[in-house]
């Protein structure tokens, strides 16, 4: 349905909240736009709707043509009647056209007010710092914790990622890898490691068991199994993602899910066993995922998050993650980060200052629980 838009009479842009009938046009626009991301696809909203989020989809039309899209997720906050709206990796539009973003910002504000949201959060995958002025012109401000140096990946979505240009041939891509990375890819093959697609629900269970091992080793929390079951049903079975499993002597050693949308692929949810790490299954699995993405016409393979701080303690697992991804000759990319549109000053203050403290306390409690459990 159309949102009441006082500027619509001027004729430039029309704001439309999209229903199911616009799914195909929506996905076509997002997939074809340089900043388009699977997290702004129609199906991502369907996946998140199986949890605690409610999706909204807002498009800007210039005549019959879509020129902007924002897939919003609404979630209730632990405050009476309060909620937030979040556009992961959105909105999708040409940030060289500030007037388009400002019209989108006005539409997002109206929807947020209607939904009694405290804020609207966005984190478009844009590198050009010039876009910051455009974001601020729409009333958005840099998030208080977005891109904080040395704090994980720097936000709800990684602010810093590694990306590989898939234009060269596979032979050229392999030759461009660092020598140790090429060696480890070939070593895994010589040792008998194989990589296959995970098709069944049992394969998802195998992957989830590996993910729990990884979470225990690297000290992070994992979602419930239901989330990965839903990922299979909503994304994998529709060709928007693939589960990969690396096996050795009949045993799954590594697993990962790779998203595919338009001409881009994203590596996510990597997991690995503590056993047989000397046969280098992660390297061969990563290479096979790159090969798969190129075969499907992708121009970019995104390794996803690395820490915003390159100069880390060498023993930090995030430092190792950076070295692993850089070994494939991936480029370090820094996005402009998260931006918020506050609608309630007191409520936004709670979000900006109380939430990080609460998250830190929860992580500390989880670490203590693991330590106590390890002592029996």
- Give 347's pLDDT tier (boundaries 50, 70, 90): confident
Backbone dihedral angles phi then psi of residue 82, each to the nearest 5 degrees? -95, 155
Instruction: Judge whether residue 109 has pLDDT over 50.
Output: yes
The token duo for 275 is 């056993």
Residues 6 or more apart whose CB falls under 8 angstroms from that of 367 comprise 219
pLDDT at 241: 98
The CATH superfamily of 8-146+336-374 is Gcn5-related N-acetyltransferase (GNAT) (3.40.630.30)
* Per-residue DSSP letter, 154: S
Helix (H, G, I), strand (E, B) or coil at 215: helix
Instruction: Judge whether residue 362 has pLDDT over 50.
Output: no
Instruction: Judge whether residue 295 has pLDDT over 80.
Output: yes
pLDDT at 147: 39
pLDDT digits (tens, 9 = 90+) for 86-101: 999 999 999 999 999 9
**Out of 72-81, 257-266, 326-335, 357-366, which region has the weakest mean confidence (pLDDT)?**
357-366
pLDDT at 73: 98
pLDDT at 4: 46
Mean pLDDT (the chain) is 89
d(CA 105, CA 108): 5
pLDDT digits (tens, 9 = 90+) for 111-146: 999 999 999 999 999 999 999 999 999 999 998 654
d(CA 335, CA 318): 18
- Give 370's pLDDT tier (boundaries 50, 70, 90): very low
Q: Mean pLDDT, to the nearest integer, of 306-333? A: 82
CATH of region 167-298: 3.40.630.30
The domain ranges of the chain are 8-146+336-374, 167-298
pLDDT digits (tens, 9 = 90+) for 57-66: 999 999 999 9
Q: Mean pLDDT, to the nearest integer, of 227-256? A: 98
Peptide bond into 216 cis (omega under 30): no
Provide, rounded to the nearest whole percent, the portion of the chain with pLDDT above 90: 77
For residues 359 and 155, the model is more confident at: 155
Which of 30, 27, 134, 141 has the alpha carbon at shortest distance from 89? 30
Common-topology check for domains 8-146+336-374 and 167-298: yes
């Amino acid at each position: 349905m159309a949102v009441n838009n006082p500027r619509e009479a001027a004729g430039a842009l029309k704001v439309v909240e999209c229903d199911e009938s616009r799914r195909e046009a929506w996905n076509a626009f997002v997939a074809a736009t340089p900043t388009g991301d699977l997290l702004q696809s129609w199906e991502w909203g369907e996946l998140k709707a199986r949890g605690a989020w409610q999706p909204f989809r807002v498009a800007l039309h210039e005549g019959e043509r879509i020129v902007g899209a924002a897939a919003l997720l609404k979630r209730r906050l632990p405050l009476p009647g309060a909620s937030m709206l979040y556009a992961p990796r959105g909105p999708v539009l040409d940030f060289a056209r500030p007037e388009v973003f400002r019209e989108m910002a006005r539409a997002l504000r109206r929807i947020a007010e209607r939904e009694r949201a405290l804020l609207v959060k966005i984190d478009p995958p844009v590198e050009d710092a010039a876009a910051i002025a455009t974001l601020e012109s729409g009333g958005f401000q840099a998030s208080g914790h977005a891109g904080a140096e040395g704090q994980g990946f720097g936000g709800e979505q990684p602010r810093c990622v590694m990306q590989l240009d898939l234009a060269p041939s596979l032979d050229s891509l392999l030759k461009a890898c660092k020598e140790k990375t090429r060696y480890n890819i070939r070593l895994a093959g010589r040792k008998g490691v194989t990589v296959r697609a995970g098709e069944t629900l049992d394969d998802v269970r195998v992957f989830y068991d590996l993910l729990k091992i990884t979470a225990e080793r690297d000290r992070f929390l994992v979602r419930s199994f239901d989330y990965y079951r839903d990922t299979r049903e909503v994304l994998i079975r529709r060709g928007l993602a693939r589960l990969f499993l690396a096996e050795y002597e009949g045993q799954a050693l590594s697993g990962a899910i790779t998203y595919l949308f338009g001409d881009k692929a994203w590596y996510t949810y990597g997991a690995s066993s503590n056993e047989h790490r000397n046969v280098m299954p992660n390297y061969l699995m990563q290479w096979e995922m790159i090969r798969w993405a190129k075969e499907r016409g992708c121009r970019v393979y995104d390794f996803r998050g690395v820490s915003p701080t390159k100069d880390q303690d060498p023993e930090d697992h995030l430092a190792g993650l950076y070295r692993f991804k850089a070994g494939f000759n991936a480029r370090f990319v820094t996005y402009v980060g998260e931006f918020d549109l506050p609608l309630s000053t007191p409520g936004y203050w709670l979000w900006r200052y109380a939430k990080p403290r609460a998250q830190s306390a929860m992580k500390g409690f989880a670490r203590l629980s693991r330590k106590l459990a390890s002592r029996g």
